[in-house]
Amino acid sequence: MSRIRIKSAKEIALIRDSSRLSAEILQLAGEMVKPGITTDEINTFVHDYTVKHGAVPSPLNYNGFPKSVCTSVNDVVTHGIPDNYVLKKGDIINIDVTSQLKGYHGDCSATFAVGEISEEAKELMQCSLDCLDAGIEVCALPQARISDIGAVIEDIATERDFTVVRDYCGHGIGRQFHEEPLVLHYRQNRPGPVIREGMVFTIEPMINAGDWRVRTLDDGWTVLTVDGSLSAQYEHTIAITKNGPEILTVV
């Protein structure tokens, strides 16, 4: 039996509210990105703005995560912990914001350039964004399956000589930060669940410039590429409605 929770219109409205707040916070945090800013300064802003707007930063104390936002720089794939690292020209940084408002979570992320960046970094960021957009478009197709999302994402990344991280995936979201279904971002040998009205989940492909494999630091959180190559990611929370997929994490 499927564990996927089909959301009511009221629940989707509540997730939409939390998602819009997360998207607003992400946009403002992105505007902070420039050489000389520390990732901890970004965390302080995210925390304070979230609380000021009556919400809770979902990452804070989630399974022991010590901060209110994830900041993943250069070869950090995901779950980067904000600290005193000073952003410098040429870096790229993924900021991953999740807010819990009135009991429901909204999750989004984007990768930002710190000043002028390399052509490889630009191409990687564009590929990750294109993968996200294509994954969302799949959800509008008749009888599309969750597994179709990963298939189109891997095709795009491979065509551009990039790779897709396999260790982390998108996920259902609602009252819980992470719910079913798992949204894998690579091609699978068996079909996943049919995408249907009332599902709410994230799509968040992590695209590497080199090897798709990753390693985790001793802090238990920070995930890096095994070969030191760059990684980029974009993420939206989407709801499946009678009119197709609706991106909830928009301002």
Residue 207 has pLDDT above 80, yes or no: yes
Beta carbons within 10 angstroms of residue 22's beta carbon: 31
Q: Which of these, 5, 1, 27, 59, lies nearest to 173 by C-alpha position?
A: 5
Tokens of 249: 């994490």
Q: In the block, which residue shows the tokens 């939206």?
A: 236
Q: Which of these, 128, 109, 110, lies nearest to 120 by C-alpha position?
A: 128
Taking a C-beta distance cutoff of 8 angstroms, is the pair 71, 78 a contact? no
**CB neighbour class for 112 (10 Å; exposed up to 12, middle 13-18, buried from 19):** buried
- Answer yes or no: is 160 within a domain: yes
- Answer yes or no: is 3 within a domain: no
- Helices 146-159 and 119-138, axial angle in degrees (round to 10): 150
- Answer yes or no: is 4 within a domain: no
* H, E, C per residue of 123-155: HHHHHHHHHHHHHHHHCCCCCCEHHHHHHHHHH
What was the pLDDT predicted at 191?
87
**What gap in Å lies between CA 34 and CA 63, rounded to an integer?**
30
Amino acid at 131: C
**What gap in Å lies between CA 64 and CA 23, rounded to an integer?**
24
3-class secondary-structure state, position 159: helix
What was the pLDDT predicted at 190?
87
What was the pLDDT predicted at 212?
98
What was the pLDDT predicted at 2?
67
Taking a C-beta distance cutoff of 8 angstroms, is the pair 86, 135 a contact? no
- Answer yes or no: is 21 within a domain: yes
Q: Residue 26: which CATH number?
A: 3.90.230.10
Please state the separation of Cα 206 from the chain's center in Å.
Answer: 8
Structure confidence by residue, pLDDT tens digits, 16-27: 999 999 999 999
pTM, rounded to two decimals:
0.97
Average pLDDT, stretch 69-90?
98
Q: Which helix (H) or strand (E) holds 47?
A: helix 39-52
- Answer yes or no: is 43 within a domain: yes
Q: Which domain range does residue 236 map to?
A: 9-247
Q: Which of these, 80, 104, 111, 98, lies nearest to 249 by C-alpha position?
A: 98
**CB neighbour class for 191 (10 Å; exposed up to 12, middle 13-18, buried from 19):** exposed
Tokens of 95: 């900021």
**What gap in Å lies between CA 75 and CA 92, rounded to an integer?**
9
Residue 1 has pLDDT above 70, yes or no: no
Structure confidence by residue, pLDDT tens digits, 105-159: 999 999 999 999 999 999 999 999 999 999 999 999 999 999 999 999 999 999 9
- Answer yes or no: is 179 within a domain: yes
Taking a C-beta distance cutoff of 8 angstroms, is the pair 77, 111 a contact? no
Structure confidence by residue, pLDDT tens digits, 157-199: 999 999 999 999 999 999 999 999 999 999 998 888 999 999 9
3-class secondary-structure state, position 160: coil
Domain count of the chain? 1
Average pLDDT, stretch 42-62?
98
- Answer yes or no: is 1 within a domain: no
- Answer yes or no: is 2 within a domain: no
